[in-house]
Structures are given as structure tokens and as C-alpha cells.
Structure 1
Amino acid sequence: MLEVTLRHRYGRDGFGIEAGFTLPEAGVTALFGPSGCGKSTILAVVAGLLRPDFGRVVLDGAVLLDTAASVSVPPERRRCGVVFQEARLFPHLSVASNLRYGLKRAPPDAEGPGFAEVVELLGIEPLLPRRPAALSGGERQRVALGRALLARPRLLLMDEPLAALDAARRAEVLPFLARLRDAARLPILYVTHALEEVDALADRLVLLQSGRVLAEGSVEDLATRTDLPLAARRDAGAVLACTVAGAEDGLTRLDFAGGSLVAVMRAEAVGTRLRLRIRARDVAVATEEPRGLSTRNILAAEIAAISPGSGPQEVFLQLAIGPSTLLARVTQDSVSRLGLRPGLRVWALLKAVTFDHLGGAR
């Protein structure tokens, strides 16, 4: 487990950050928020690249930083694998030699995946003889991930590792990040301002704004909180943990706690777990069970709460479907016209073709 508490200010009147949170023993915790909210500062403090005005960092009971006790373990002894926006590979070395550099940094008694396992995990065997200049951006980041993992760290730190890549390269690297998450069995602190990366990779979310922690918890729980800045985004919505249950007639059935959905055909095998973001703007509601519609997903629900939306005439409906919650963004006129209120039984309507934003396999 990682425990982080820090307070720091850049100059007398500069940006200030005051934050604290914990990471579990394994899994991905995303530091999420707009640019300039303090995400990378936190990562630098944990890695030992920045000494804050006040701070305490404890990893698995070992104190890495305690400013009150004048304790600060040097970065090279913290056993943190760090992956930055730029791959930072040695340009004069081959991919194989860059990877072996990570092995050289690993303590002799440290456990972790071997060279061959990492190469297979990240799909980089054809790249081994090449030098970094001959690689694409996505390939360089995969090599950087491999080098960090081969150092056999106790903690992986990733500072917006996909930010410098275009959409195609991000889509290429995301599945490998998911495989690394599952194989590493380490705590991973992942800095990003891209919600699709959070949906695909993160188990927990620490939401930051102006140097402060607004909330922390599971991605699913925070996604449906309409009091957080996430609700102001146009892609605001619920996140459901789903399992691929079958396929028929060009559609895939996805089961979740409380019901099932159908989406356009997916390539994943039956039993694969997925994270599905259902955008609030894609959800319509009906007060009577609809008939004769092309819409395939018609789910019985109950309005759990109605809260203000991000626009002056918008509201959010929190829809309870068994233990799961969906969000619907509707107008105030719809609330008045349909007599919508907490406790009312309704039907949530979602087109199968709206699910073009499924998260990664889990």
C-alpha cells in the first residue's frame, strides 16, 4: 500500500498543492484532473524528484519521505519504475539493450517477470534489434514500459504516458497497458487528463482540482456523482462493469449487475470483462413501457434522485437498475411535462450503436 500526504507551494505567491490519498497493494489508481491541477507534482514527490515543503510517503510500511523527520530516500533507492510522456530511451542502444538496462537496475533478490515474459507481454519481439529512432511513438512507449517493469519496481508511476501519441497510437498502446496492469500485480499511480484512459485502466480514481483532492474512490462510484466536475463534461455518464455473455445477429450481449445490454458486435470472447461508459446524453426515459422501437436496450429503472445539470435548463436523473446506477441528462421541461420525481418507475432507453466507447478488457 502507498500512503501519500504533501503540501507544497511554488514560490511565495505561486501555485500551491495540498493533497493526501492512499493506494491499495495492487491495481491502477488514476490521478485525474485538468492540466495544472498538481498531478505531475504529486508523481514527482513520490518518485523522489521533488522535495515538497511538507510531505510523507510510505510504501508497504517503508518510509520513503518524511520531511518532519528529515527522511528522504534517494530516487534510485525507492524502487519506483517511472514512465514519462516521452519514452526517454537510450538512442545509441538497441531495444534489447534498453530493456536489459532495466534488468541491471533490478535488485538481485527482487521477484518479477523475466526478459522473455516482458517481451511477449508487450509484443515487442520484432523490435529487439532496432534502435529507438526506427520505432513509432507507440512502440517506443511499449519499450519504455518494458524497461520500467524489468527493473522490478515495488511501484509503477506513469506520467501521462499516452499524451504525446495520436489517437491511433493511443489505441495501439492501451491494450498493452491493460495487460501490464494485470501481469504486474503492483500498485500503479497513473497520471492522466483523458477520461477514456481512466475508463480502460483505472480501478480507483483520485479527482484533483487546483491542487486539492476533491474525491477518491472507485471509478464506478465517482462517475455517477453529479456534485463533481466530471458531471460538467459532455461525456459525463455512468461506468458499468460488464461481462461478455454471448453474441447473436451481429450483436453482443453484455451482462452487468442488475441487467443486460446489447451492443454492436465485439471481438472479445465470452467471459471477457469490460468497462462500459454510458453517457448521460445517450439515455432517454419513458414513463410507459415503449413498444415498436428500433432501440434494443429498454431497461426498467427507478428514479433515485434528480439533481441540477451543467446547463441552466438541464437536470440529471439518477436511475437505479438493481444495484447499478445510470445517469440520464434531460431538460427541466421533460421533468415537468412527464412528472418525473424520485421513486417513479421509468424505462431507460439506449441504442445499441451508442456503445462505441467501451473501455478495455479487465
Structure 2
Amino acid sequence: MSVSQTPPALDIAVRHRFPGFALDMSFTAPDGVTALFGRSGSGKTTLVNALAGLLKPEEGHVRVSGKTLFDSRSRVMLAPYRRRIGYVFQDGRLFPHFNVRQNLTYGRWFAARAGRRPQDAAGGFSRVVDMLGISHLLDRRPMTLSGGEKQRVAIGRALLSAPDMLLMDEPLAALDEARKEEILPFLDRTTREARVPILYVSHSVAEVARLATTVVVVDGGHVVRSGSPGDVLTDPRAVPSLGVRDAGAVVAGTIVAQHSDGLSEVRLTGGRLLLPRIEAPVGTGVRVRIQAHDVILAREAPSGLSALNILPVTITDLKRGEGPGVVVRLACAQDHLMARVTRRSADALALAPGLSCHAILKSVAVAPGDVWLAEPEMTS
């Protein structure tokens, strides 16, 4: 007796030709947040239009949780309104003549029109309002809201339309850094609790590292790399598409101590990190982004350094760029790190796959914005 398998949350394979540009992308992704990452002109918008039903590809298929939205072979092409996709644009696009409550209610009306009970939409009106922290905004008009507040309302409206998936097309691109920091915690919570697959389109490695469970890197109309953030973001061969300056890794750990000198101790699978104080209790899970240019390599265990973090690592891969730099991928037990060094240093240290060495990281090199809280560990 065969056991049926759950279909992937996203199953996309589309091909379409334009004058001077050809789109040919295929990938699957499980439930969670799939980050579609690429620079301008890489094909992100074209793929989004195909997913939303605004473009009919010449060939291929688009499926969401097993539901076929487009299939060139069977001639299926669902209209956009029948795809049940909650769309969040860069600029929110709220109805200016409605207050916040009415904008959200429109999402509930759309859910009812789609044949679903409004209370089924992402858990209900009250839950969405609470999750996004917008209860105090309900009677205000969009023109009185900040950019971050508008985006939170736009996300709420999309969730309350009872979508089969949520499509976020660079939702932070139009915001300044202060507004981004305002909305990111709410995005964190939304991506954890939305209960529907999310396609998050971005050209920001920091956003992808923080939010994604799956990363799809695209360039020139093709998928360059796809997989978990830990695998993709530390792949030296994906660095040219990700951007050398933003290269780095994300590691998961647990706070195991809060020291009196203002440092928090985080346990990783291959050692411990001392970081500027993280305002969370012992036992809290965290994710830490460590940028490649902040990691120093040493063949022998160093002593007499001001840097407090020294982790034993093994080189698993390295890539020499066209310039003076070399990107090195490192295994630290079950985690992966990345270092960026000069060719001269790589040659002097004879760096090569299989070599055991030490990764050195200053505590202050990790900014507070590169540490994110996860779920607390369960205790027995």
C-alpha cells in the first residue's frame, strides 16, 4: 500500500521569452517563507506576474499546495481573482477613502466572496489585528499612517482575504531604515503565524536571512541556487548573485548565560559565542547573522587576542573571485560559517577544503539587528 506524499507548498516551472530576455525557472519549496532573491532585472517580477496570473507563460506549470493555477499542457490558466493569493505590494495600496477597519473588512468581504468564512481567514479579525499590533489604528485613515503602519495594515488585509498563499513583493523597499526596523518584528511574527505559504520577494540579504525558511536565488532569468538559508547563503558559488559585501551565514543557538559585564553567551552546535547583551531569558532560541568580512581565520588556536569568540572549524569549500578576494565556507559542527579573505592570506595559510583551523569573531562585530529571537527551548 503506497503512502501519499504531501505536495510541496510551491511547485513552479515556467518558461517565457521576451525580446532580449528569456525566463526559465524551476523550483519547489515546502511550507514556510520562500524568499525569491535577485537583483533588478533578474526575473523576479516576471515570475511574480506568472504566479499571480498577470502573465501567461509559454510553457510550464504553477501549483500552490497541490492546486494547479497554470499548466500549459492541460491548458489550465486560472484568472487572478480565482487564485486566492494575498498580495502585499511595496507601497501598501490601501483604499484612501476607507479607515483601517474598513480596509481590513474589505479583506474579510473578499474572503466571503471566495467562498470561505471570514473567521477562517488567518484565524480571524481579532487575531490578525493583535498579531500586527494595529488595534489602535482602526479608526484612522491611511493618509495619517506612517509607511510601516500602512504596510502592517496591507498585510492584515491580505491575510483576512483567506488566501491559499501570501505574496509579498519587496514590502520594505519603499521604507527608510527606521520604518524597516519598526515593521520587521511584525513581519517576523506574521511569517511564523500566517498558516499559509509565503513567497517573499527581496533584494536584501539581511531580510532574507531573517525571514526565510527557503531561499531561491535568481539571476538572468534562471534559478542559480535554492535550498535552506544555511546552505544557500553560505554557498561560495552563490556569492556573486548575493553580493560579496553581504555574504555571510545565519546560525541558530540558545542563550545559556547572561553575564554581569553586559555579554550574553549563546550555545551553538560547535561552540559558544559571546555577544552584546540580548534582552531575553536564558533558554531562549536565537538566530545570529555573521557576516563573512567579520570572520578571521587562523591555522593554530590563537592566544592573547581581544576577540572573545574562537570557534574550531573545517574548510568545506572556497571560491576565488576575479579580484583579490577568496570566499571560504566553514563547517562548525552542524553549523556553517563563511569568511572572506584576500588571495594573499589564502595562499600564505594554504587554505584548502578539509583543512582544520579556527574562526575568530569579535563580539561587537555582531550588531543587535543581526540577532533575532526564536522560540524558547522546551524543557523536560
TM more than 0.5: yes
User: Which one-letter code corresponds to 1:20 in the other structure?
Assistant: S
Write out aligned runs for 1:232-271 (5 A): 232-248=243-259, 249-271=261-283
- Alignment correspondent of 1:361: 373
What's the TM-score once normalised by structure 2's chain length?
0.89
> Who is 1:325 aligned against?
336
Give the partner amino acid of 1:15.
F
Name the structure 1 match of 2:169. Answer: 159
Structure 2 SS opposite 1:85: coil
Q: Give the structure 2 partner of residue 98 of structure 1.
A: 103
Aligned-partner Cα distance in 2 for 1:191–1:354: 28
In structure 2, how many angstroms separate the alpha carbons of the residues matched to 1:225 and 1:45? 28
Are 1:225 and 2:235 an aligned pair? yes
What amino acid is aligned across from residue 82 of structure 2 in structure 1? R
Residues 49 and 361 of structure 1: CA distance in aligned 2, closer, same or farther (over 3 Å): farther
Deviation string 1:80-112 (CA, Å, 9 cap, x unpaired) is 101010111110011001001101111334733
Indicate the residue corresponding to 2:125 in structure 1.
Answer: 115
CA distance in 2: counterparts of 1:250 and 1:359, whole angstroms: 15
Counterpart of 1:44? 49
2:284 and 2:329 mapped to 1: Cα distance? 27
Contact preservation (8 Å) 2:37, 2:44: yes
Describe the shift of the 1:79–1:269 C-alpha distance in structure 2 as closer, same or farther (beyond 3 A). farther
SS in 1 for 2:23: strand
Question: What is the CA–CA distance in structure 1 between the aligned matches of 2:234 and 2:328, rounded to whole Å?
Answer: 10
User: What residue ranges of structure 1 are gaps of 5+ in the alignment?
Assistant: none
- Return the alpha-carbon distance in structure 2 between the equivalents of residues 312 and 61 of structure 1: 45
Aligned 8 A contact 1:231 1:237 in 2: no
Q: 1:336 is matched with which residue? A: 347
Per the alignment, do residues 85 and 131 of structure 1 end up closer, same or farther by CA in structure 2, a change over 3 Å counting?
Answer: same
Residue of structure 2 aligned with 1:20, choices 18, 21, 26: 26
**Runs of 4+ with >4 A deviation:** none
Unaligned runs of 5+ in 2: 1-8, 375-380
Look up the match of 2:60. 55
Following TM superposition, by how much is the alpha carbon of 1:301 offset from its aligned partner in structure 2, in angstroms? 2.1
Give percent identity, aligned residues only: 47
* Secondary structure in structure 1 of the residue aligned to 2:11: strand
State which of 192, 195, 207 in structure 2 corresponds to 1:197: 207
Asked whether the equivalents of residues 225 and 231 of structure 1 are also in contact (C-alpha less than 8 Å), the reply is: no
Contact 2:15/2:25 (8 A) holds in 1: yes
1:207 aligns with 2:213: no
Residues 231 and 113 of structure 1: CA distance in aligned 2, closer, same or farther (over 3 Å): closer
CA distance in 1, matches of 2:48, 2:371: 25
In the alignment of these two chains, the number of paired residues is 358
Q: CA deviation at 1:62?
A: 2.0
After superposition, the C-alpha distances for 1:11-47 in whole angstroms (9 at most, x for unaligned) are: xx242211111221x2100000101111122112111
Structure 2 distance, partners of 1:272, 1:325, is 21
- Counterpart CA distance in 2 for 1:269 and 1:204 is 28
1:131 to 2:141 alignment: yes
Q: What is the match of residue 151 of structure 2?
A: 141
How far the C-alpha of 1:282 sits from its partner, in A, is: 0.9
Moved more, 84-93 or 297-306: 297-306
Task: Quote how far apart the aligned CAs of 1:304 are.
Answer: 3.1
Q: Distance in 2 between matches of 1:230 and 1:273?
A: 30
- Offset from partner CA, 1:128-179 (integer Å, 9 cap, x none): 0000001011100000000000111110001101101111111111111110
Q: Distance in 1 between matches of 2:50 and 2:251?
A: 33
Query: CA 1:297 to 1:49, structure 2 compared with 1: closer, same or farther past 3 Å?
Result: same
2: CA distance, partners of 1:6 / 1:244: 44
Q: Paired residue for 2:86?
A: 81
Aligned letter for 1:9?
Answer: R
Q: Is the 8 A contact 2:116 2:162 kept in 1?
A: no
Distance across 2 between alignment mates of 1:5 and 1:134: 42
RMSD: 1.8
Which SS does the other structure have where 2:123 is aligned?
coil
Deviations 1:216-250 (A, max 9, x none): 10011011211122565112122212233332120
The residue type paired with residue 22 of structure 1 is: T
- TM score, norm. by length of structure 1: 0.93
